[in-house]
Structure 1
Amino acid sequence: MSTPYLQKLLRYRDWADQLTYAAVAALPEGASTAPRATVFGNMLRTLSHSWVVDDIFQAHLQGRAHGHTSRNTPEPLPLDELWARQQAMNAWYQDYASTLTPAQAAEVVAFQFIGGGEGRMTREEMILHVVNHATYHRGFVADMFYQVPAKPPATDLPVFLRDVPQE
């Protein structure tokens, strides 16, 4: 996978997160934290999970301990604080990917899964994972919009490619 392609995927992820967070923020008060039939319990906890996984893989890429013992924050974060963290994380991944040489992107990194066991992925696979993982969980959030009821934003890759000028 080329570095420019990784960068495009990360720009897509940032764009989709912007739409999602803005839509969640525009929901009626309490809608993002209302109990829902979903694995993480509500929209905000689902978005928190996505950020935690980004933080874990950032640590793997940096070769440092992440300090997480769970795949979510211990306590829910306010939406504005979580969004600030997510924006900083998205910027970090975009900057990081822009510096990778093809050899660095293909380098295998060993790590420990939180649930136990050893993992090994290339740096580009880790980046692809955080993009794909976020897309997966934005789908959960989109489904919860219908439970409000509200219409979620369209965050599909073809919409991004159509609506956002590409470099």
Structure 2
Amino acid sequence: MNHPAEMYRYHAWANQTILERLKELPSSVLSQEVNSSFPTIAHALSHIYAVDRTWYLVLTGMGMPEAVQTGMPLNANILHTVDEYVDLFARLSEQFGAWFESEADLERTILLDNPFAGLRQTRLSEIVLHLVNHGTYHRGNVSTMLRQLGHASVMHDYALFWYQEPARSI
């Protein structure tokens, strides 16, 4: 088993799971303001996507400073429907799937020029695991925001993933 690819599949599944839960709720939940890490659930979803997209650009060869300039403005791209987020995440998941198929060595290192932290030799697998960890953290924010808005969240733990179908897009 390719552990980083499996962890990414979990990440895609967990995103899909929380989005499916959001589709069950009134559409206003997406943009309802809450006192939390993000002003709305839509803001949290846009942030997860922006960071995922930024790391995808790095993994596919773009320098991190350029990837940050390209990806981070997506934080401000607040969508109006859950279906728009479903489509956005599904397209990116397909791109990641193609990248995993084409990347022969996930233990290969690149010189990561992180504008926030400096230079570091970093394995591609480390970047993937960071991306998954980041998404897990912010899906937890979304779960908390749902509870603050009076709605139950949905389980999206890695252990549950073991017993579910893998994400459809990979």
Q: Shorter chain as normaliser: what TM range?
A: 0.7 to 0.9
Q: Structure 2 vs 1, CA of residues 88 and 151 (structure 1 numbering), >3 Å: closer, same or farther?
A: same
Describe the shift of the 1:60–1:141 C-alpha distance in structure 2 as closer, same or farther (beyond 3 A).
same
Q: Post-superposition shift, 1:69? A: 7.2
The counterpart of 2:75, out of the listed 73, 76, 79, is 73
Letter in 2 for 1:105: L
TM-score of the superposed pair, with normalisation by structure 1: 0.84
Contact 1:7 1:98 in 2 (8 A): no
Can you list the C-alpha shifts for 1:35-81, whole angstroms capped at 9, x where unaligned?
11222211111011010001111111122233337465224123322
Return the alpha-carbon distance in structure 1 between the equivalents of residues 117 and 158 of structure 2.
32
Structure 1's unaligned 5+ residue stretches are none
Coordinate RMSD, CA, aligned: 2.1
Check whether the contact 2:4–2:125 (CA below 8 A) recurs between aligned residues.
Answer: yes
Instruction: Indicate the SS of the match to 1:40.
Output: coil
Label 1:15 to 1:70 Cα distance change in 2 as closer, same or farther (>3 A): closer
Residue identity (%) = 22
Q: Which range is displaced more, 70-79 or 58-67?
A: 70-79
Q: Partner residue of 1:52?
A: 50
Is this contact kept in 2: 1:107–1:122, CA < 8 A? yes
Moved more, 76-85 or 121-130: 76-85
Question: Mapping of 1:1-167 within 5 angstroms?
Answer: 4-64=2-62, 65-66=66-67, 67-68=69-70, 70=72, 72-78=74-80, 79-101=82-104, 104-113=105-114, 116-120=116-120, 121-164=122-165
> Residue deviations 1:96-139, cap 9 Å, x none?
223333xx31222234445x342432111111111111111111
Which range moves more in the overlay, 79-88 or 63-72? 63-72
Task: Give 1:86's aligned amino acid.
Answer: F
Work out whether residues 50 and 71 of structure 2, in 8 Å CA contact, stay in contact via their aligned partners in 1: no
- Aligned in 2, Cα 1:55/1:163: closer, same or farther, shift over 3 Å? closer
SS at 1:32's partner residue? helix
How many residues are aligned here?
160
CA distance in 2, matches of 1:127, 1:21: 21
Please list every run of 5 or more consecutive structure 2 residues that lacks an aligned counterpart in the other structure. Answer: none
